[in-house]
Structure 1
Amino acid sequence: MRTDRLVAILLLLQRRGQVTAPEVARELEVSERTARRDLDALAMAGVPLYSMQGRGGGWRLVGGARTDLSGLTASEARALFLVAGPASAATPAVKAALRKLVHALPEPFRVQAEAAAAALVTDPQRWGSSPIEHRPQPRFLDELQDSVIRGVQVRLGYVDSKGVETQRTVHPLGIVAKGPSWYLVSNTEAGRRTFRIDRVASAEPTDEPVHRPEDFDLAESWREIADEVDRKRTPLEIQAVCTPDGIGLLRKVLGGRLEVGGSTTDGRVEVVIRGRNEYALAGELAWLVEWLEVTGPPGVRDHLASIGKALVERYG
């Protein structure tokens, strides 16, 4: 572990030019005492390192000594960070490895490698009950991914759900893989928009820089987009009460369409469930009668009663 720290400190020095013991301690998540001991150890080992005392002081490398420990090409570094994904969603071990790798990359590679880490979000959930299927990689995925990483605008040809093709210039912010589908999240003149990449008819990168909001987070933005789409797909809300031991089953079956509320006087739990229409939702919930009681609207209760009557007549 100490060897890892010493290498990380060396690369941190190369990147920043000058560091203090408190900065090293924060970056490597160690105590200031450990950071100072490691800096002294580097100097004693013959690394051309010197310290400056007083205000504005710190540790520097003599002559700005450089060492590339990564051995990666620019495309290899980008590919690795794309696979690893955003550091905010990574495991602690992966996060630490990415941090060390960023320090090891030569300066020309570093910016795009860090951009690649934030360029892609994977959402394994399919939309609603859509069938599982395999789709080939969209034609312009690589071009759009490259534009996100390089931060350049794209002239986009897009075919909508009615088959009408339009042309527009977009500011690509990120790529999302949801189930078998791929989406481009972009800023446009009309605001933030999402494009299905398999509907892209042409993609021509420009030399104009993307206008990217400072606080933009692709994962958070996609959660908002997905929630809005889910609500449009399931506009009906019903109220029900569920036994405590059935809540886990409801979460598994309904996912984001379930909202759990407080407890009732008889110990059950209030829930709100979203669906497409009363009849479909009644059919979906009928088998949960052991745990769930629908309290409204009346139309869903009527459909459940009809389903129960038909089952009794057939099997009773």
Structure 2
Amino acid sequence: MEKDREKVSIYRIAEEAGVSPATVSRVLTKNANVSEEKKKKVEKLISKYNFSPNAMARGLTSSRSGIIGVLIPDIRNPFYAGLAVECERAAGERNYSLMLSNYMNDMRLEEQRLYKLVSQQIDALIIMGGRVDERITDSVYAERINRVCDFMPVVTTGKLEGSDCYQVNLDDSAGMDRMMEYLISNGHRKICIIGGRKDVDSTHTKSIRYRSILKKYGITFCPDYIVETGGYSMESGYRGMNYLLENAKWLPSAVIAINDLTALGIIKSLREHSLRIPEDISVVSFDNTLLAETSVPRLTSMDYNYQQYGDTLINTALAVLEDRNPKKIQIIPTELVIRDSCRKLNGDT
């Protein structure tokens, strides 16, 4: 009997009752906002399958708390800080508050913080970064997230194959295409990309698009010009640029940093090697955080429209909560912000 019970999910009950999973969740949590007819159908199936909420669901109350939980890897990263601020603004405009949990890039703490957050009577969960960014989804983790999805909306900024969560993703492919087109239109042919890990989906996507655009313009791919650093910090950018300068056969004319933090490390390395930006090497990056505007020189960087990003994350979570059936996957467009860190070359370089 226990084995049969495990096979029954909130989605099976919803399908048989002809209602949404959110309606089943409301019946389980004794929410009054369900018609008597639907309630009876759901309760009959719950009794039939002897279905009961799991441990996480028992922490939920019968009324909404007005709180949306947000799980992030590291609030010190200005990308996550900026996005969290926009989510808080968007939530506040809709009479909701945020509960933020930060696991400091420690994957051992990620699930612990996840379950702790879910137990705090939040109405919906937004997951930024971490395992949802992995190129190959951990099926066990996806199943655990599905258990959370049974009782509340879950929205991610990455992908989680096999899960029932909603996705609000950046258009990484278009962003990298636009960055490469910009550099090539300014005469750059020796273009390097530094930072990140190949098992992270967005980094992998940028690497694929980088090679595709080189091929489109008949530019020979140089393996030395993709430097994986294993991280996204200033320190990793510094190490990556040092490695390139010590090992590459030819100095690149332009460097693409995987994010603004990495770009700061690249700039530090170039200065220590007495190389000027952009006179000797141009530097561009992704994220367009406050760092891009305040660095010297000011960084040309790919912007994500953080206000739209925050609005979409919060609106999606609330739309699921209110049974309004939002799109499963939504894409946030990118826009290149041109500043002082890239120069136009004359002739073939």
In which range does the TM-score fall when normalised by the shorter chain? Answer: under 0.3
Greater RCO (Cα-Cα under 8 Å, separation 6 or more): 2
Bigger fraction of residues in strand: 1
> What is the TM-score normalised by the length of structure 2?
0.25
TM normalised by structure 1 equals 0.26
